[in-house]
A and B are shown apart, each in its own frame.
Chain A
Amino acid sequence: MNNNKTTLILVDDDEAHTVLIKRSLKKSGLRNEIISLQSGQQALDFIFSEGEFAGKIRCASIVVILDINMPGISGVSVLKKLKQSEITRHIPVIMLTTTDEPKEIDECYKIGCNAYITKPVKHTDFVEKMAELGLFLKVSKMPGFG
Chain B
Amino acid sequence: MLKTNKNFYWLAGLMTVLVLIVMVVSYYILWLTAIEEKRTDLVHIVQSQARLIEAIARFDMKHNRVEWETPIGERGPTSLLSMRAGADTFSQIYDAHKHYQGFGETGEILIAGIENSQIMFLLSHKKSLNKKTFTVPFDGENAEPMRRALSSLSGSMVGRDYEGEIVLAAYEPIDVLNLGLVAKVSLDEVKAPFIRAGFITSFVTVVLIFISSFFFRRLTKPIANKIIENEQKFRDLVENINEWIWEVDVSGTLLYSSPKVSQIIGYSYDEVVGHSLYEFMTSIDVENVQDVIEQSSKTKTSIHALECTFINNKQEIVEVEMSAEYILNSKGKLIGYRGVAHDISERKQREHLLKRYRDNLEEMVADRTIELEHVNKELRDFAYIVSHDLRSPLVSITGFTGELNEDMKILSNCASQFLGETAEDEYRDVKMALNETIPESLHYIETAADKMNRLINSILTLSRIGGRTLVYEKVDIKQLIVNNLQAMAFQIEQSNTVVDIAELPILEVDELAMEQIFGNLLGNAIKYLSPDRNGIINVWCEENKTQVFFYIQDNGIGIAEQDLSQIFKLFKRVGEQKMVGDGMGLAYVQTLIRRLGGKIECQSVLGEGATFSFSIPKR
Are chains A and B native binding partners rather than an unrelated pairing?
yes
Binding site for B on A (CB under 8 A): 14, 16-17, 20, 23, 69, 98-99, 101, 119-124, 126-127
Q: Is the CB of A122 within 8 A of B389?
A: no
Which 4 A-B pairs rank lowest in CB-CB distance, beginning with the nearest?
A123-B402, A16-B396, A20-B399, A98-B391
Residues of A within 8 A of B389 (CB): 69
Q: Is the CB of B403 closer than 8 A to any CB of chain A?
A: yes
Q: Is the CB of A122 within 8 A of B398?
A: yes
Chain B residue with Cβ nearest A101: B384
Enumerate 16 A-B pairs (CB-CB under 8 Å) in ascending A order: A17-B392, A17-B395, A69-B388, A98-B395, A101-B388, A119-B391, A120-B395, A121-B394, A121-B449, A121-B453, A122-B450, A123-B405, A123-B446, A124-B402, A126-B395, A126-B399
Q: Is the CB of A127 within 8 A of B396?
A: no
Residues of A within 8 A of B391 (CB): 98, 119, 121
Q: Is the CB of B106 closer than 8 A to any CB of chain A?
A: no
Residues of B within 8 A of A124 (CB): 402
Chain A residue with Cβ nearest B452: A121
Residues of B within 8 A of A17 (CB): 392, 395-396, 399
- With contact pairs A98-B392, A101-B384, A121-B453 given, residues A127 and B402 touching in the complex (Cβ less than 8 Å): yes
Chain B residue with Cβ nearest A119: B395
Chain B residue with Cβ nearest A27: B406
Add 19 more A-B contacts to A16-B396, A120-B395 (CB < 8 A). Answer: A14-B392, A14-B396, A16-B399, A69-B389, A69-B392, A98-B391, A98-B395, A99-B388, A101-B388, A119-B391, A121-B391, A121-B394, A121-B398, A121-B449, A121-B450, A122-B398, A123-B403, A126-B398, A127-B402
Kindly identify, within residues 380 to 439 of chain B, every residue whose CB is under 8 Å from any CB belonging to chain A.
384, 388-389, 391-396, 398-403, 405
A113 to B449, CA, bound (A): 30
Chain B residue with Cβ nearest A127: B402
Chain A residue with Cβ nearest B399: A20
Q: Mark B327-368, 1 if CB is under 8 A from A, else 0.
A: 000000000000000000000000000000000000000000
A23 to B384, CA, bound (A): 29
A119 to B396, CA, bound (A): 10
Query: Which interface residue of B384, B388, B389, B449 has the most chain A CB atoms within 10 A?
Result: B388
A17 to B389, CA, bound (A): 13
Chain B residue with Cβ nearest A100: B460
Query: Which interface residue of B392, B403, B446 has the most chain A CB atoms within 10 A?
Result: B392
Quote the shortest CB–CB distance from B135 to chain A (angstroms). Answer: 163
A101 to B178, CA, bound (A): 168
Residues of A within 8 A of B401 (CB): 123
Residues of B within 8 A of A16 (CB): 393, 396, 399-400
Q: Is the CB of A126 within 8 A of B388?
A: no
Kindly identify, within residues 192 to 249 of chain B, every residue whose CB is under 8 Å from any CB belonging to chain A.
none
Residues of A within 8 A of B446 (CB): 123
Q: Is the CB of B399 within 8 A of A98?
A: no
Residues of A within 8 A of B450 (CB): 121-122
- With contact pairs A121-B394, A122-B450 given, residues A98 and B388 touching in the complex (Cβ less than 8 Å): yes
Residues of B within 8 A of A119 (CB): 391, 395
Chain B residue with Cβ nearest A124: B402
A52 to B388, CA, bound (A): 30
A120 to B96, CA, bound (A): 174
Q: Is the CB of B403 within 8 A of A23?
A: yes
Chain B residue with Cβ nearest A118: B391
Residues of A within 8 A of B398 (CB): 121-123, 126
A122 to B397, CA, bound (A): 10
Query: Which interface residue of A14, A23, A101, A120 has the most chain B CB atoms within 10 A?
Result: A101
A126 to B396, CA, bound (A): 11
